[in-house]
Structure 1
């Protein structure tokens, strides 16, 4: 029997919402926390929607709670008019009109029945969370609506999202806004930030204790993760009144414990320590107070490293507002924020959408199964780099063919509710891989234990025996969930799976893991106990004291995602024989001739490789000269250009002529700046390096001929004319010109310039050549850029000084009329 429902803010806009869906078939509903949209909207739409209403919820607890609450409003139990479906659990019947489903369920429904036969409306609840599955689901539903089901109603509901872009994405869908919240909430900030020396857990416990002392009613505390929840719970145990009970609430808890956390307190006050699971469309009974500790934990995927890691970040303003709204769900409330009011302005506005920061392997597989991602309406398009990395992994796993189309193996992988890595492993190995897949899909049951994954397998297989043999404590809840998952995966395992290797032996756990992580086969680096190079090319490290450290070959199943050198959290040791059995078709010999920065020489090796791993390494004899030259080219990049004085003079000449082109006086010569020369080494220098194998060989190399070869014959004629390599004296002697200075310069005996009445010039701009005039003993007596001026002005004084010092040498009164000479007068004359 339907109950008489108490009024909620959403009730005011329900007529407008129903009218918008009736006229447009689409709408965006923006309603603040506590407005009642999750439970009121589906019930309000029941009379006008033909067929089933699907409502997506981001979390299992929210989906189950919403369905049970709506069923209760109708005087029914879940499974009648209102039902729910999620992975591993389905409570629906033929009478079910509203199905509350977790987001991944919609994708599976669309892939198996793109027309969504029998579905009249799809509601995306809590879309502001911007989960990957929600974004994908909306994109697929929107394409289905355009191509197959124009009658399909689509409604997006959000509490804090900037709804205008979503409405625009949905062809300018009507935007309905519900104003106000059920009850007012007072916000209290810190007077000053907690001391930097104070631990986060201690500061959180202090604020919770203060909130309990200053208020009445249930308290909801937002913390980033299970670890913080456990530590704050421990810190509060002796600091709260006896009538208060503490309830943790996080996604990995058994449902019975989750239900206890959200149920009304039987006596006294309830304090719920929760993760972001409590931000969603979930009403926790008796809550009057929210303590927001200001942190959120998110997954970040590094496409370059091919790894995800959890990071703890400051909460966004949208998340803070969503959390604050929990305090006003059932009565006026108070929200304590563990930051100052001044610090609030520095918080980011919205959390990043998951599609922009997550591992896209699963998304890429779904898109390949769908057929094409072209034209799909993503509110945030998936990043190209992350998609490229994801598709490379899928090709490595055999899910995609060379053309990027999904293979039969890929279709089988997509049918399994697992990450593509684990789905591939389960398909190849069969039910024997179920325990390993279940463990990898769950959180680590042995926190603080060594990285060896075999310890976890042992704890899963025999928890009591493991506890008797090992000092590590297994988390019973995680073990129980993993056992249930093992049973489920065993049922899903394909009957055609290959349960043994090519040799007839069953797959070992290490071989199973290598099937799932072909890019994370690790080889210990020479000289390091616990540093590894992974087959995908990335680096990884574990603690030196870990029992697995020192193993030559490992498989890394879990890494922290550090882009520089990821820390290994779970791994198994594997033998080379096992690797060869699995990946014989990928192991190949390659001849490598390269420059060794460490040895400063060309190293030529024949190597047997698997990705970035070197399984065998031998000397490569009879190396082709062109391979040596290419490696030596890298040596030049390492050492720098070996410029002899002759090569430097040649470069100075070219740069002088080429540098004056801006003035319209230079010539069109090749760019021989340092940057241009280094960028084009392969073009002009590599052919001259065939005999260079060491740093000493490179340093001895005269580059003059190689540099001259860059100029054509005509360009050389221009260069020799405009910037000749030498100056021809009046006696016909050739004196090298030094172009390394700002002004080209020569030095010669003063007497050799007798008879010169025009100063020599150089370059396109006819720059005066700087001449250092020397005494008969080779000492400078004058530096000039105007020889005629020197003869007319300073020569007389120089002549007075030089005649006494060098009487046997000519010092004519008029040097312009004298013949040049290098001779001295005979003795006695």
Structure 2
């Protein structure tokens, strides 16, 4: 690595570790934050597909970058459904800083705290000025800001120089602000501008774990003074391989009262209808939210029927169809239709049979379940719904008649018995005592002859002795051995030498013998 003449290279890892190393590092664009790239491409008016790349930006990461820029007010949808740069986005693109920091600088300048925004941006860009650049001086960014304002040293001077450059780039007269923000509140406001997705709420009082507005989790790797704060804005996160949650490295305390002031734009209202799991009743509330975090909530006493029905559908989607009163007969009905549909599709044909799988039923809840939810107000009421009647509406005439013809509930066997088929397996199973099939040469078929059933041949005690889909082969090749065993265990039963000409029976022996 950089040697100019022959020498010795010492590898400071084992042979096994060396064998597991990648041949070369992954291209940066495949793992980097693409917000800056997305902002500049929007400024040029081009899409990634219009450019030639050595490594194309990953679509998911690029979409995530665009979503962030939209949240920062840099992008908006145009009339054709694409993205276009806003005036604010144009101003952000002209600043030599990450879009998060550019947004913070512009918003801070508009609030009359542009100088503080420049200091914060410089602190975030440069190496940590506390503890010689090592992450060991506590996470509170307010301490770094105090050191920047009063400290000395080369690192502090570098940050001050960069801050001056940022201040020089802010054009136009600064905003007046309302004068109500002290430095701590102003610092938190600025960071929330830059990192709205990293506003975080403590999971447990005094604990080190936090939930972020983007739904992810983060924690302090070691005790920190900020752990007494119920709300934070996190400026720097990091993780190591094997860690389930990201670590908090730099953050600042956040007063939630700011969401009634300069951060009000980050708050939105959502009406939520949820089931009280303990009492089994529906509860409605209006939530003030910051992303996935609930800031406050209040009950909604008057809930219209449509909203309540939608909440009930949401409950079924979350808990699954087992919430309803399924019976074994209904599950068989579902499997019978599924079999006929699959036979059509396997043959390359379209099918008249609807998709009634659980996944399809969940997708179509509005069609078959929604009209019947008017009287459901408690969890227990779901079990009282006429599920069979509701599902029957999915099968228009004459499909019910064809269902009984092509996928019958039961089939007749030579003994005269009607034996139920089990459609929960594929192919369907006919479990029948061996003696009842005497005289039957071939395996029974259903679905107009398209589907051979699977025979579970049973002993007189109804224990399986053979599983086959080829009854003719069983009679010719296996029956003699099976007969020998059964005759020894059930000597009073009828075991003829030639089953194809023998009289079938559901009794021990045919009548008259």
TM-score clears 0.5: yes
SS of equivalent to 1:405: strand
Aligned residues: 444
2:300 to 620, 644, 658: 620
State the partner residue of 2:69: 394
1:704 to 366, 369, 388: 388
Q: Does 1:359 align with 2:36?
A: no
Q: Does 1:552 align with 2:226?
A: no
1:369 is displaced (CA, Å) by 2.6
State the partner residue of 2:287: 607
State the partner residue of 1:489: 166
1:483 is displaced (CA, Å) by 2.5
Whole-angstrom CA distance in 2 between matches of 1:369 and 1:706? 55
State the partner residue of 2:195: 517
1:715 is displaced (CA, Å) by 0.2
Whole-angstrom CA distance in 2 between matches of 1:452 and 1:497? 27
> Given that residues 503 and 510 in structure 2 are in contact (C-alpha distance below 8 angstroms), is that contact kept between their aligned partners in structure 1?
no
* Superimposed CA distance per residue, residues 292-322 of structure 1 (whole angstroms, 9 cap, x where no aligned partner): xxxxxxxxxxxxxxxxxxxxxxxxxxxxxxx
SS of equivalent to 1:401: strand
1:457 to 145, 165, 183: 145
2:99 to 409, 412, 420: 420
* Residues 764, 675 of structure 1: alpha-carbon distance in 2 compared, 3 angstrom cutoff: farther
> Given that residues 628 and 692 in structure 1 are in contact (C-alpha distance below 8 angstroms), is that contact kept between their aligned partners in structure 2?
no
Whole-angstrom CA distance in 1 between matches of 2:494 and 2:359? 34
Q: Structure 1 regions of 5+ residues with no counterpart?
A: 1-322, 465-475, 729-734, 751-759, 775-780, 802-829
Whole-angstrom CA distance in 1 between matches of 2:355 and 2:69? 45
* Residues 372, 675 of structure 1: alpha-carbon distance in 2 compared, 3 angstrom cutoff: closer
Q: Does 1:380 align with 2:55?
A: yes
Whole-angstrom CA distance in 1 between matches of 2:16 and 2:404? 72
1:695 is displaced (CA, Å) by 5.3
SS of equivalent to 1:365: helix
Superposition CA RMSD, Å: 4.7
Q: Which moved more, 1:352-361 or 1:706-715?
A: 352-361
1:173-212 alignment, distance < 5 Å: none
> TM-score with structure 1 length normalisation?
0.46
* Superimposed CA distance per residue, residues 533-558 of structure 1 (whole angstroms, 9 cap, x where no aligned partner): 22233222225732222422211111
State the partner residue of 1:348: 22
- Structure index of larger Rg: 1
SS of equivalent to 1:582: coil
> Given that residues 445 and 456 in structure 1 are in contact (C-alpha distance below 8 angstroms), is that contact kept between their aligned partners in structure 2?
yes
Whole-angstrom CA distance in 2 between matches of 1:573 and 1:448? 18
Q: Does 1:740 align with 2:419?
A: no
* Residues 528, 594 of structure 1: alpha-carbon distance in 2 compared, 3 angstrom cutoff: farther
Q: Does 1:647 align with 2:326?
A: no
1:698 is displaced (CA, Å) by 4.1
* Superimposed CA distance per residue, residues 209-228 of structure 1 (whole angstroms, 9 cap, x where no aligned partner): xxxxxxxxxxxxxxxxxxxx
Q: Does 1:572 align with 2:248?
A: no
Whole-angstrom CA distance in 2 between matches of 1:745 and 1:642? 27
Q: Does 1:581 align with 2:261?
A: yes
Whole-angstrom CA distance in 1 between matches of 2:321 and 2:332? 23
1:439 is displaced (CA, Å) by 1.0
